[in-house]
Amino acid sequence: MAAWARQFVSQKKKRWVNAEENIDLDLSYITDRIIAMGFPSEGAAGLYRNPMPMVLKFMKLQHGLDNVKVYNLCSERAYATGAFPHALRVPFDDHNPCAFEQLAPFCDDLDRWLGGHPKRVAAIHCKAGKGRTGLVCAAYLARLALRPSAGVDAPDGVVGATTALAHFAASRTEDGKGVTIPSQIRWVHYWERYLRTGAYRRPAAARAI
């Protein structure tokens, strides 16, 4: 019943399944070193979202826990300090873009982490692992394309905001509908403009439409 509930909640998002290890997670590889996933939950929420013990088991088996850094984008929920050996919270509200000023520090931190060792991976999540997660993943992929980083390559075909968003959508969802909130999509395009020119048009409001 719990497995069915988790699959129902994940809807059209791709899942990572290892039947032999009894792992079934709302989780997708955006690149071989960047993971997008739903919130790692404890208690009753783990019945319909990613159970924290299963997330930890996946990380240990696939990469080794010390090679994974978890990025929590939720402003509305958090887990206990020390749940993961390496973690960073970059909070912003559901269905909204982040503060534009959060993007560069996020990308810098992710770059340092991945560039520190070729075995390192990043697991990025919000609540569902799609809107907010897609925004920052696409922003980072666009930066890799426009400002190459030592040791971390942009995926083939990613040359800017549009292709970065499309890559995330294809990697994360079955129906190709990744980031769908207009304000979040705009943020990735503003970010591309900033990367290309050093300037961006600051919108009057940053709320979802």
Q: Which residues are known to be catalytic?
A: 126
Beta bridge partners of 200: none
Cα 107 to Cα 88: distance, rounded to the nearest angstrom:
12
Is residue 35 within 8 Å of 26, Cβ to Cβ? Answer: no
For 101, how many CA atoms within 13 A lie in the half-sphere containing its CB?
0
Tokens standing for residue 145: 């394309």
Of 164, 183, 184, 160, the residue nearest 172 (C-alpha): 164
